[in-house]
Copies of this chain bind each other. A is one copy, B any other.
Amino acid sequence: QSNVTMYGIIDAAVETYTNADAAGNSVTRMPSLGGGMFPSRLGFRGTEDLGDGLKAIFQLENGFAPDTGTQGQNRLFGRQAWVGLQGKWGQLTLGRNYNMLNISTYDVDIIGPSQYGLGSLDSFIPNGRSDNSVAYRGTFSGVTVGATYSLGRDTSTAGGPAGTSCAGESATDAVACREWSALLRYDGNGYSLISAFDRIYGGTGAANGLNSSSKTDSRAHVAAFIKQNDWKVGLGVITRNNEGSTTQPRSNLVYLGAAYNVTPFFTIDGQIARLDYRATNNDTSQFLVRGVYNLSKRSAWYVAAGRISNDGTAALALSAGGSVGAGMSQTGLITGVKHSF
């Protein structure tokens, strides 16, 4: 009926990349967690006009693996699940919301949540969602402000990009597994300035060393974006202070991306990024170049090449859900089809 709209993206690809194990073997596979352009999803959303500019809004969004049909994020509506109100004052939503660090990467991370993008260097970025959260966002004369507050950021019992086993909402430790984030963005004529901050709190049993609510993991993002005719250029840096790591808590992630519309049907884009740990040389560099042939506004065929270079004992994999030996590099090639509906 008219009260709910279905939508989605299915992006399926074949990729091959080098050094998929410590012996240096390559692998050819279909990626599960991401596509060459976007992670696959099926969603349900709706808007009800309540009068006086007020609206009720909701969104339920499932993430799935296009190669196997399994659900992502260890749950049914793993990407988004919220309800709320929207007015001239902005929108206020309750449920599983994107945090403001994730939202701050929109537009300026030109490659977006694709394979061989920023998610390879910091999987928190594309998976920046908070359970049990209240989110606000509003735009006034080109200035967008936003914030989230979560009472327990992650109810998944699985670690990894989709969950860090930090349910929170504890009677004995009110701070455990909480999270807050904030956004400030200005959109000018052909350019944008963006900043965001996100802080997650640890808790007993949480993954990645954040095993106490006295430990936090914080990221600050500053970025800018220019769009002129057929060109777009985005640049940003994410500074992190991760108290879950005793040896290398502080890092900077710098990225620079660009896109050029060669014809209305063909776009070339690419991005370079570097993750630099202050205390160590376990740094990682990455780049991606991609050609997108737009079959329509909703459908595209793409080919992309990417490379990741791990220094020291760094072992970040090029492909989401993949693996790589410490200090090894990987080169990957991916081609696939993206369809939005």
Contact = CB atoms under 8 A, between A and B. Distances in A.
A56 B172 contact: no
Nearest to A93: B12
Interface in A45-72: 46, 48, 50, 54, 56, 58, 60, 62, 64-71
A81 B96 contact: no
Interface string A11-40: 111100000110101111110100000000
B30 A94 contact: yes
Tell which of A23, A67, A81, A96 has the most Cβ of chain B within 10 Å: A67
Tell which of A56, A64, A82 has the most Cβ of chain B within 10 Å: A56
Interface string A87-98: 000000011100
Interface in A277-299: 295-296, 298-299
B299 A56 contact: yes
Interface stretch (A1-9, A197-205, A242-250): A1-9
Contact of A54 (B80, B171, B295): B295
A29 B170 CA distance: 8
A273 B172 CA distance: 30
A171 B8 contact: no
A179 interface: no
B296 A50 contact: yes
Contacts of A7: 1, 3-4
Nearest to A19: B171
Interface string A297-308: 011010000000
Given A64-B76, A170-B27, A58 B6 contact: no
A33 to B, nearest CB: 12
A3 B6 CA distance: 9
B132 A95 contact: no
Contacts of A220: none
A208 to B, nearest CB: 19
A298 to B, nearest CB: 6
A78 interface: yes
B30 A151 contact: yes
A225 B134 CA distance: 38
A96 B132 CA distance: 30
A65 B95 CA distance: 9
A160 interface: no
Interface in A297-324: 298-299, 301
Contacts of A155: 32, 67-68, 70
26 contacts: A1-B5, A3-B341, A4-B7, A4-B341, A10-B60, A10-B83, A12-B94, A12-B95, A21-B172, A25-B171, A25-B172, A27-B169, A28-B151, A60-B64, A64-B77, A66-B83, A66-B94, A67-B94, A67-B95, A68-B155, A69-B76, A69-B96, A69-B131, A70-B77, A85-B295, A85-B337
